[in-house]
A and B are shown apart, each in its own frame.
Chain A
């Protein structure tokens, strides 16, 4: 690992999120981005003149447009500034967060604005994703972005009844959180008495993955402003410090000799390394909130085990005992998570923005009532990308 300690500390000083929804006909792409940019600038009490560098990210080809960062300048404010574009698939938002942190930590820029956006309604995601597959071996065989691999795994391990019930419990908890978050795209008002009906009657997609389990296709943008320690302290009384982040990626098709998940998942590998180098022995105790990139309720349920380095059925118990609820022992996605809104290029940055707001204590109706000092945010993308970001209230490590 080429990991080195950061050159200087970096804090999050401003966040902005649009309302997420299925359609935003009222604004074009640049205008939608601008809503989040304006919000983040207002949140940080900065003007665009204070920003040194703009990092822009979305999914390659999802809006079927080329070099969107260039003509989004009208909304992003990148005119005359140093600017970069990132497109690392579903992890784009996570990579944006890494870039914002790294660019500010490097000393090259004092204030860096990271912008993630997606307008999925305008494009054709399958068309975009299809371009990822190897034209020779895989393009004619793939099914798109959906998989029930996590369902297969959980059902094999814990039996269909318990696994299905756990996944649906996870789903209903996420909806209850989504109902608290005014930015949610989908907030149905699901309740526990609907469990059996949903498990039986929600339209099946692949295997045990049903429509209700799956994330949406959303329009929206998210902006996070990063500043060097010195600047961050000048800008705000409540900077949220970026302690560390880690990226792990594995191309699964290069390892076909093993079965699926051949060794550790990238999630577990990333979590182990991150905790190890930051001296965290019990992540479940350490963190006060986890904003997880959970594309489906099955994945969300399964991945708890990976991110918290759990054994046996501890992750299922967390879900079954509703410890992942906003007022539980380990609140997961008080925002409602990715199932509530998935503007893909923004999604992982929203996790970081939401985690930062929880630490600041001004998340709004979905603010965790207990003090939040340590937050974790994850990003996920194909084929197996993991980005983890650790945020802290105090600069004391």
Chain B
């Protein structure tokens, strides 16, 4: 796995999160809501490059991923459905609460999407889950969970996608 930190270099010693990279803005708002710890990085998986944007909003840890699959990745959208289930299971195993986990892919007229809100039910799917993932496919993935550390959620998401 290769990580590219877009704002902090590999020698960064800021100490924020386990990947030593942050862009922290802790807004104080009119009724106490917070949006903090936002950062972006690119992770190189064997089958895709994944750009992650992560932050905490109130109690909700949020990881958004834009996935660019390699040529001949060998992956279909079904692999993302499996990742949804895996993330839901791991989040609940931590005692945390799944907000929602969603995946979407489109190329030309073909699309697929899936969502999960817990580990007890199969993800809801629509479209063609056999859609082959390649560099021409627009592909997004979002995981939101509560009562879980942001770095832990990010680790779970990257592990499930990998």
User: Are these two chains actual partners, yes or no?
Assistant: no
Interface residues of chain B, those whose CB is within 8 Å of chain A, are none
Interface residues of chain A, those whose CB is within 8 Å of chain B, are none
